[in-house]
Amino acid sequence: MLAINDVSIDLGQFVLNHVTLEVERGDYVCLVGPTGAGKTILFECVMGLQIPPTGRVTLDGRDITRLPPEDRGVGYVPQDYALFPHMNVFDNMAYGLIEHRVPAQEIRRRVGEVAKLLNIDHLLERRPSTLSGGEAQRTALGRALVLERELILMDEPFGALDQVTKRQLFKYLKAIHAELGLTVMHVTHDFGEAFGLATKVAVLLGGRLCQVGSVEDVFLRPATREVATFLGITNVWSRQDLLGCPESVVSRAALAVLDSSEECILACLPPDSITVLWDGQQPPDGAVQGPAVIQGLRWQGSQCELELDAGLPVVATNAARAVASMGVTVGDTITVALHPMDVHPMKR
């Protein structure tokens, strides 16, 4: 549906370097990357706010690279909602339809249907100043949906919302995406949004598209050390690291994987794939086990992150309840198990 082909643009501080990305009809693509990676520029190239000097942007085979924004068939939901304070919810949602001279009866139909779908039909006479953050965000989303665009772009739509409101909006978005068959590109810094919504994740680092794939592929099998580091996966070891400590449980699990691939020189292991064997618990079939000394504990809601020394530095995540119930602390030795099948080999 959307094809971004070898797009490059240099705006001084912000650049895109030969970005190519395919978005299929019905995809929900989360575009992730640190501040300054080029996410906003890429959106602007799709929207028509930037014209790349090289490369093409096509939508359903139609070249839209140099078309003005209003002729592209793209809807947009900004981070700050951009609602008109002097208009009520109905008029804010209807604004784009009025600008396109859609008949009044059709405007009432579209706004009514979308407002009901978003559960804001009881708010249509309210002004933006009286809305909660979630209600304002649904109004901004509704304004984009009533235009019936082929593609919806969402720029960090949940950035200003609390966690409870964010979870509620997740439910609305998932239901609407499924019911309407929407095609969405969604910029976010929050990996939880990608976990909860995306059918595909694209990682943009330093103006380069470094990896595109399913949520599972990207978060469990990062393409490079750079991607793994951005995703917060610190369990990356070189072959040299592993050979330097062959008795470590890490080396015994990972070297077997690297030895089967001559091209791969790095081993990556997501922290939640490391099993802590509490109180004589047996390891999973096929896993290797060994001792590890706790170097640090970091409590993160229902999870606890354990910084371990297993001959090589390792980070594992475990249920906070289990860690607390065992009463372990820094300096204690525990037993961990790693399965070679969970080790992801990387070329660089």
* pLDDT of res. 165: 82
156: left (phi over 0), alpha (psi -120 to 50) or beta: left
Residues 43 and 90 in one domain: yes
The answer to whether residues 88 and 213 belong to one domain is yes
Give how many domains the chain has, as a whole number.
2
Same domain, 221 and 299: no
Whole-prediction pTM: 0.87
pLDDT in tens, 82-101: 899 999 999 999 999 999 89
My answer on whether 208 and 61 are in the same domain is yes
58, 64 contact by CB (below 8 A): yes
Contact present, 121 and 112 (Cβ < 8 Å): yes
Instruction: For residues 187 and 286, state if they share a domain.
Output: no
Residue that is last in its domain, among 213, 228, 243: 228
Same domain, 83 and 127: yes
Report pLDDT for 260.
82
36 and 52 part of one domain: yes
Domain that residue 254 falls in: 235-346
CB 149 within 8 A of CB 185: no
- Number of helices (H), then strands (E), belonging to the chain: the values are 11, 18
Q: Say yes or no: 55 and 164 in one domain.
A: yes
* pLDDT for the residue 4: 97
> Is 205 in the same domain as 270?
no
Pairing of β 200-205 and β 208-213: antiparallel
Q: Say if residue 136 is in the same domain as residue 245.
A: no
Extract the residue ranges of the chain whose pLDDT is less than 50. Answer: none
Q: What is the CATH number of the domain that holds 36?
A: 3.40.50.300
pLDDT digits (tens, 9 = 90+) for 57-88: 999 999 999 999 988 989 998 888 889 999 99
Which of 228, 255, 284 terminates a domain? The answer is 228
Tell me what pLDDT residue 18 has: 96
Q: For residues 248 and 315, what is the distance between their CA atoms, to the nearest angstrom?
A: 14
